[in-house]
Structure 1
């Protein structure tokens, strides 16, 4: 195994070609005030697996692929269940 950083997050957008936006959430205790803090950030990741919105994915850092892409989707941890399409008027 290599020493690249790996993070888990949720896909929030897949409208680009071979690129997804992954939101990474982090919960930690503030060092001074001892209050629980929730923080999140969004990163763009290269996607060869065909992720959908809502999928939980594991991303790994990589060489710069474009101006903003420094991550790549490694695995899909949990697929989102596909919503059932219903016809209007039935």
Structure 2
């Protein structure tokens, strides 16, 4: 059993979990994000790109280090936290 919460493919909370992990780490690398989220490298990379393209989230990259600069106009940080904790009546799925 793992402590990492797992969401089905296509679930918005997968992206939100990557963004939350990214924000919680001072020096977030792809390897650290994979370990924190339980997702594979390709999925994490794709979700970072998707967050920028589809939600206007601003993420910078300097060498291997990612940094969440701005949540953008679509996603509120507080709302993302609510979705990830089940406060929006969305079930939390455990792996």
- TM-score normalised by the shorter chain: which range applies? under 0.3
Instruction: Tell me the TM-score normalized by structure 1.
Output: 0.28
The one of the two structures with greater contact order (alpha-carbon pairs below 8 A, sep at least 6) is: 2
Larger Rg: 1
Larger relative helix fraction: 2
From the two aligned structures, give the one with the greater strand fraction: 1
